[in-house]
Chain A
Amino acid sequence: MTRTQLKEHPYRPHLAVIKEIIQETPTIRTFRLTWKDPAVSAHFSFQPGQVGQLSAFGVGESTFVINSPPTRREYLQFSVMRTGEVTRALHQLNVGDTVGVRAPLGNSFPYTSMKGRDILFIGGGIGMAPLRTLLLTMIDNRADFGDITVIYGARSPEDLCYRYEFDAWRAARVNLVLTVDREFPGWTERVGFVPTILAEEAPNPYNRVAITCGPPIMIKFVLAGLRELGYEDDQIYTTLERRMKCGIGLCGRCNIGGTYVCVDGPVFSGTALRAMPPEL
């Protein structure tokens, strides 16, 4: 749907059909959707980092980042970890089933300002989802960027999402550093928590932007680690997550101080994070 459509009918989901389901990890499934209405399909546009409200009709809505890049329009992709009632209901859906989507909502990564710079992605678990959107957009415009390093960790090898794409990322000259929390049989990549690997890799902050997303505790240590490495607040971006209902800055749940994660976020710079009251 277009921005105008969403502005006029902010509570109105548009129907989408599940074209493909990928079992990423034991608890995470990726849904590839296509709009039911060709008119919506023709006009839909978004920016990397923006989110959508997915409806499992009869159960409710939840917020997920759109993790397919705007440069690839054949489907709209969301990765869903099974944690609550809506995600459980979404996991019960099959190819061909209908869901509702309200999108795009929220702000986006400052993609244009990242052009010409080196990039560092630091992701943990399902936190790779918002990073993937931006990463693939950059891969599709690879000449616009310098070094792209991705540090991606999960508890175990089977908890890493998008494994089937790792080769493609590397083929696009992405320096992919994978890590898991402890040794596993057959695992040949790194072992250790993401913040530790970050300190070991120590990507040079010169003319570089770091984007991180993962569990709150990981983000906390990654932010500290980045500052340790000399990254300034305005070189750091992360996304925040809150319980949301409306997605349009009204229902009263997702605010941190006067900042509404649903409309002012989910993307925040290190500078913005510092200005927020401590209520994470």
Chain B
Amino acid sequence: MNNASFVSHAELADLLRRLSEQAEVWVPTRQAMTPHRPMFRPFQAGMDLDFQPMPVTSAKGVLFPQGEELLKFRKEKSLSEATVTTLLWEDPAVFRPTIVFGCRPCDARGFLVFDRAFLQGSFVDPFYKARRDKNLVVSMVCPEPDAACFCGAVGSHPADTEGSDVQMIPVKEGYVLHGLTEKGQEFLKNVENTPSQAQQEEARQVWTSAQGSVDSGASLTDDAQHFFKRFADTAFWRFHTERCLSCGVCTYLCPTCYCFTLTDETNGVHGERLRSWDACMFHHFTQEASGHNPRPTKAERFRNRVGHKFSYFPEKHGRFACCGCGRCLRHCPVGMDIRAIVRALGESEEVHD
């Protein structure tokens, strides 16, 4: 097999250092104060890498930063006292190439949702495209799915290769890497070692056992069909969202959530137009200047979140806007379980008052 390479634990840091010379390499790292919640950061020598627990944040910021400048402007008074604005527009900057290294298969599939939204909708988002064109995804076979994981219910599994350029498989002495795409094959030229026969065999076993390691119950596809039937069932949505705090944890940690806001931020005569993450769970998100709000309570807002992920988006793009990583549930302060709500859509029994 000429598409496999091997990197030992000892050589990993050096590989990442070499890769960092060509690209910004995002890796899951452990922070001193939060040892159990690794997060993605651009690689730097001496970093405390941690591929074991699922990172608290997804890698989505690599392609869709939390805050991003879209344009700059400058306002001045002309001689006639009129305000003249100058726009400083740079075409989506020549972004540095990026490598997402060691994300989970679910995170890799999350980018496919972004691709549909940002590249295959009515408009192509030039900022996303410029970043995505120079991006490579190295996902790792998921070592330890937990009770919040449900990739199995959204058509995936912990050893899924969809959306990845390279798949890394953890073995005792290091990682076996497989190039899955042309870009991925090219990438493997950075890793000269080929795995031994024994390592290949171990990788095959790890892959196979991971593939079957998530039992997330039946697919959510059938339940999701009932969404519109439930749409106007106000009592259903009130009942299921009663404990929601309307914060943004679920959406900000979600690899597939891409709602944003545009704001002008100024400093004297200078200013910039900023695109930043926003959350459909926030009250003000759809608040109109007239005072009208089409989604006035958390019941309507959560319904929209379920609808977007499991009905509207699949209808348009042919896949759930959910990769089953379970972050929304795992880190929700009150354990809101979107899986359970989707499952309840189809229940014939009225579970609420």
- Partner-B contacts on A (CB < 8 A): 7-13, 15, 17, 55, 57-61, 83-87, 93-100, 216, 241-243, 245-246, 248-253, 255-258, 260, 263, 277-280
Contact = CB atoms under 8 A, between A and B. Distances in A.
B259 interface: yes
Given A95-B82, A98-B83, A258-B316, A246 B311 contact: no
A238 to B, nearest CB: 16
Contact of B231 (A94, A248, A277): A277
A251 B262 contact: yes
A58 B264 contact: yes
B259 A251 contact: yes
Contacts of A258: 307, 311-313, 315-316
7 contacts: A10-B124, A57-B271, A60-B262, A83-B290, A84-B289, A98-B85, A251-B259
Interface of B: 70-71, 73, 75, 78, 80-85, 87, 89, 91, 117-118, 121-127, 228, 231-232, 258-264, 266, 271, 273, 275, 278, 280, 285-290, 292, 294-295, 300, 304, 307-308, 311-313, 315-316
A277 B85 CA distance: 42
B260 A245 contact: yes
Contacts of B73: 57-58
Contacts of B83: 93-94, 96-98
A84 to B, nearest CB: 3
A248 B308 contact: no
A279 B84 contact: no
A171 B123 CA distance: 42
A251 B287 contact: no
Nearest to B82: A96
Contacts of A280: 294
Q: Which 10 A-B pairs have the closest CB atoms?
A: A84-B289, A96-B82, A258-B312, A252-B259, A248-B123, A98-B85, A83-B289, A263-B122, A58-B266, A97-B83
Contacts of A57: 73, 75, 85, 264, 271
